Amino acid sequence: MALSPYGPHGPLIGKVGKLVSYVLKGRVVTRSLGPKRTKHSKNQLANYQAMAVTMKLLSNMTSFINSSFEIEARGTIKNQHNLATSYNKKQALKGEYPDISVDYSKVVLSYGKLKIAENLKMVKTDTGLKISWDTTGGQANDMVMIMVHHPVDGESRDHLNACRRDVGTHFILLDKDRLEQQLEVYICFKSADGKQISNSVYLGNLNGETYSLEVQKEKEKYVVLKNRFDQVSAEYFRIMELRISASIDNKAFRNLEKEYEVLKEKLKYMPGKPG
């Protein structure tokens, strides 16, 4: 159903037949609905997973993204989240479906021409992270923006106005549990008047890569299914090689064959493969 909030002669907002209209940054946008599909190609499934992985990465970075991509979004119909999603879906993913994941070294959290500080360093201490940089270059009153991402639980901690560029260092206090988890850290610089921003810089990973609980469960499920497939496969091919007609013609073998085909198909697109 569509509504007519702008009067009888204005545009409709909502769904009419196969068309959907909505307001985006002050403009009315209309698009058609595609046909519903019950089966999807591997490329479609890969695209869906790539989008899901990207959205999950950015889901807790909204405040940072709203500030860092605000300049680029000005004067366009795109919003900050659109830009961040586009950059990272194209550049910051690795692997193939069904095991697409984030390449944290390629994550883009800002894009601009402001000068990046030289000699960026990050040091882990007993109580947090010490981040430092050279104060030469750029403007002394440029703002420093820092993002600390925790992949294990998907949480992100932003520091939108950490300090000025001329301070040269910033300390981020973290509790012991956080310090022992996988950390992915980024930094960028934004002019004091908000008109310019630098590219984001990946400061690095701390504590190596740790699988999230979700990924661990996927790997466990894969192992269970793979073990069952190996058992069924061995029995299936044993009977086929012997060509025991009586065994092949009976119901038990037909059930075995069906299970073999079903498990084989599931393993093709099941996440959690080792390696």
Report pLDDT digits (tens) over 130-160.
Answer: 999 999 889 999 999 999 999 998 899 999 9
Contacts of 12 (CB under 8 A, 6+ apart): 2, 3, 4, 21
Kindly write down the DSSP assignment for every residue of 242-261, as one continuous string.
HT-HHHHHSHHHHHHHHHHH
Q: pTM of whole model > 0.85?
A: no
Q: Decide if pLDDT at 24 tops 80.
A: no
Pair 74, 133 in one domain: yes
Tokens of 190: 């934004």
Q: Decide if pLDDT at 127 tops 60.
A: yes
Report yes or no on 232 lying in a domain.
Answer: yes
Per the structure, the complete domain to which residue 18 belongs is given by 2-32
Pair 199, 91 in one domain: yes
Of 216 and 70, the structure prediction assigns the larger pLDDT to 70
Pair 223, 152 in one domain: no
Q: Residue 80 maps to which CATH number?
A: 2.60.40.10
Q: What pLDDT does residue 209 have?
A: 87
Report yes or no on 273 lying in a domain.
Answer: no
User: What torsion do the CA atoms of 236, 239, 240, 245 make, to the nearest 10 degrees?
Assistant: -130
Report pLDDT digits (tens) over 153-211.
Answer: 889 999 999 999 999 999 999 999 999 999 999 999 999 999 999 999 999 999 998 77
Report pLDDT digits (tens) over 34-51.
Answer: 666 667 888 899 999 999
pLDDT class for 128, splitting at 50, 70, 90? very high
Task: Provide the domain count of the chain.
Answer: 3
**Which range, of 70-74, 219-223, 239-243, averages the lowest pLDDT?**
239-243
Alpha helices in the chain (DSSP H): 42-58, 62-68, 70-73, 80-91, 176-180, 213-242, 245-249, 251-268
Pair 25, 124 in one domain: no
Q: Is 81 left (phi over 0), alpha (psi -120 to 50) or beta?
A: alpha
Pair 202, 68 in one domain: yes
- Which has the closest alpha carbon to 133: 162, 168, 167, 105? 168
Pair 194, 157 in one domain: yes
**Which amino acid, residue 87?**
Y
Pair 134, 239 in one domain: no
- Of 1-5, 46-50, 268-272, give the range with the top mean pLDDT: 46-50
Q: What pLDDT does residue 21 have?
A: 73
